[in-house]
Amino acid sequence: MGKTLVAYFSASGITAKVAKKLADIRNADLYEIRPETPYTEDDLNWSDRASRTSLESSNPASRPALADRDANIAAYDTIFLGFPIWWYKAPHIINAFLEAYDFSGKRIITFATSGGSKFGKTMASLQPSCSDTVIWKQGEVLNGDPSRSRITEWVSSLKL
């Protein structure tokens, strides 16, 4: 198998923890997808219909600006892509990340954390942001601060 990258976005640190464990287990490089303007607590208030995340999530065309574009995607065959579930799908910064690089021919395996939701329509909302040649694999929602053995078990089940 070629080189593996674990790329993740995490607004409050939960997905980051899973991503770090996964990168360690796979001996993979780690890349944090960061917004140019970090999300504040008010921005993350999903019960406020006027909050930044509510407005972004309800606008399919919204693409929060990325803090940088320095991920060396060309160097990897397999990219684990992690994020929190926001409104039953991936935050739009994940679309922005996918649209910022050339993922042609790469394998992208998603994983997420959530308050309990599964992937829902997540994959369908991400696929249009990439070339048709991407080999997608929907991973798992890894909630509850999963142990290394839980993550290892999941990765083994992928039969990479």
Give the interface with ligand FMN as residue ranges (CB under 6 A): 10-16, 44, 46, 53, 84-88, 113-117
How near is the Cβ of 35 to ligand FMN at its closest, in Å? 12
Q: Which is nearer to ligand FMN, 44 or 134 (CB)?
A: 44
- CB burial string 76-98: b at 16+ within 10 A, e below: bebbbbbbbbbeebbbbbbbbbb
Closer Cβ to ligand FMN, 79 or 84, answer by number: 84
Instruction: State the nearest-atom distance from the C-beta of 49 to ligand FMN, in Å.
Output: 11
Q: Residue 135's beta-bridge partner residues?
A: 107
Is the Cβ of residue 32 or residue 77 nearer to ligand FMN in the bound state?
Answer: 32
Give the number of other Cβ atoms within 10 Å of residue 64's Cβ.
20
Q: How far is 90 from 98, CA to CA, in rounded Å?
A: 12
CB 117, min distance to ligand FMN, A: 3
- Please say which residue, 45 or 152, places its beta carbon nearer to ligand FMN: 45
Three-state secondary structure call for residue 124: helix
Cα 160 from Cα 157, distance rounded (Å): 8
Q: Return d(Cα 6, Cα 29) in angstroms, integer.
A: 6
* Residue with smaller CB distance to ligand FMN, 98 or 146: 146
C-beta of 121: minimal distance to ligand FMN in Å?
A: 11
CB of residue 86 to ligand FMN, shortest distance in Å:
4
> Where in 60-103 does DSSP place strands (E)?
78-84
